[in-house]
Amino acid sequence: MFITKTHLDRRTFLRGMGATVALPLLDAMIPARTLLASTAAKAVPRLAFVYFPHGAVMREWSRDGRILQPLAPFANRLTIVSGLENRHAYGPVHAITPGTWLSGISGATADQFAAECLGCDTPLPSIAVATEQATKIGAGVWEGKYDESYGTTISFRRGASAVPMEFRPRAVFDTIYHRAPGAAGPPGSTSVLDLVADDALSLRKRLGPSDRSVLSDYLDTLRDVERRVNKEESFVDRMALMFDLIALAFRADITRVASMMMAAEASSMTYAHLGMSDSFHLLSHHQNDPEKIEKLVRIQAFHTRMFAAFIRTLAELPDGDGTILDRSIVLYGSNMSDSHAHDHFPLPLAVVGGGGRQHGGQHLRSPDRTPISNLLLTVLRRAEVPVHSIGDSTGECAGL
């Protein structure tokens, strides 16, 4: 496919008064009479790793189950992967469950392997976000054997260096849009778009009608997210904002790798908007009480609804000759299986997206107790990250 547009550099930014705003892909960024695959519009992978704590009510973790029902509109992009285990997560339970999810052991995690490769051409190699502030979890008799960060993050660089999960939407917003501290007053007093307004006006004059429409839509979305950042008040607000900030970062190619914790490990969060006053963590110890199990399923289905809204956003964002979702591989799941037993087999895991030639619309049943690292290895390789192994991987998950 050839295109005939004027050329604007892909790394064009709006700048002004201590703020920098990255832009989405515009037609003007595609050189004239050039193969699409040789331009900024070429397909580049995005990887997201979305973690929820406390496992799942496994009988509801299926294509027809209530927990995954919100993903039904994306059934052709959804692959459920079953039969996987993380045998290295056994021990001090919550104290190491998050930190071993993306490595299958300890050490560098899949998102950071991806960041080393996919982050070379983006302003940020990766972003790591959370919905609530993590609390330190004691390891009991294992104290001293495991670093306390294994209970507070899912992301580690080489050398087992923990990547903190940022739970403040304002901090994430100012990071991806490079709003310098104190620029035009305290955060929230002046919109980042007001700081770059002159540059935006100048750019509009150089764009064609289609690009002006794309730019307006993007800036309107950015302004809405910033407005919500300035007024966010609830757990639900923060969760929605973190997903929207990841989507903005993907759209503007600020980063191609994101990891997110939907709730803190051993979270005591209550879900009042669902009519519950129970602590999330306490409900996970349901002792097979039908009433508690029902409440837990509702919480887990709520998490999936929020995740599905994120997937819908990616599906609606154009990217070259497709959408962001067409280029993305998103791993959704937990490093715990049965919520009450607190075991690690079989893990609730699903892959969503169209990146890496994955098929979707299927349920892959791996041999029982296949290492979760095999799935991580497969996801990385589908995203063209050159890795030979990760954690205790023994090979790829066939069929993904």
312-319: average pLDDT: 96
At a CB cut-off of 8 Å and minimum separation 6, what does 133 contact? 167, 264
Decide: helix, strand or coil at residue 262. coil
Tokens 């900024």, residue? 40
pLDDT value of position 182 = 60
Q: Which domains does the chain have, with CATH numbers?
A: 43-126+133-166+255-382 (3.40.720)
Q: Which amino acid is at 211?
A: D
**The pLDDT value given to residue 120:** 92
Question: Across all residues in the chain, what is the average pLDDT?
Answer: 91
Using one digit for the tens of pLDDT, what is the confidence trace for 373-390?
999 999 999 999 999 999
Q: Tell me whether residue 105 is exposed, middle or buried, using C-beta atoms within 10 angstroms of its C-beta: 0 to 12, 13 to 18, 19 or more.
A: middle
Banded pLDDT at 140 (limits 50, 70, 90)? confident
Q: Say yes or no to pLDDT of 5 above 50.
A: no
Averaged pLDDT, 62-69: 96
Question: DSSP per residue over 380-398, as a string?
Answer: HHHTT---S--TT--S--T
At 153-192, the pLDDT tens digits run 999 999 889 999 999 999 999 999 986 666 655 666 689 9
Q: Per-residue pLDDT for 104 more than 60?
A: yes
- Would you put residue 118 in left (φ > 0), alpha (ψ -120 to 50) or beta? alpha
Helices vs strands, H then E, count in the chain: 10, 15
pLDDT single digits (tens) 332-343? 999 999 988 989
pLDDT of residue 2: 35
Provide the pLDDT confidence category of residue 4 given band limits of 50, 70 and 90: very low
pLDDT for 383: 95
**Torsional class of 18: left (φ above 0), alpha (ψ -120 to 50), beta (otherwise):** left
CA neighbor of 150 nearest in space, from 168, 138, 166, 167: 138
Q: Is the pLDDT of residue 309 over 60?
A: yes
- Enumerate residues 6+ apart whose C-beta is below 8 A from 302: 271, 274
Pick the more confident residue, 48 or 233: 48
Distance CA 306, CA 273 (A): 13
State the pLDDT at residue 356. Answer: 67
Out of 103-117, 197-211, 245-259, 352-366, pick the least confident: 352-366
SS3 136: coil
**Does position 346 have pLDDT exceeding 60, yes or no?**
yes
% of the chain exceeding 70 in pLDDT: 92
Say if CB 251 and CB 320 are below 8 A apart: no
* Opening angle at CA 384, ends 106 and 28, nearest 5: 125
Amino acid 230: pLDDT: 93
Give pLDDT, residue 136. 85
| pLDDT computed for residue 1 by the predictor | 28
Q: What percent of the chain has pLDDT over 90?
A: 78
Q: Is-cis flag, bond preceding 181, omega within 30?
A: no
What is the length of the chain?
400
Single-letter amino acid, residue 355:
G
> Where does residue 71 fall: left (phi above 0), alpha (psi -120 to 50 degrees), or beta otherwise?
alpha
Residue pair 191/220 in contact by the 8 Å Cβ criterion: no
Q: Which residues pair with 14 in a beta bridge?
A: 21
In the structure, what pLDDT confidence band is assigned to residue 232 with cuts at 50, 70 and 90?
A: confident
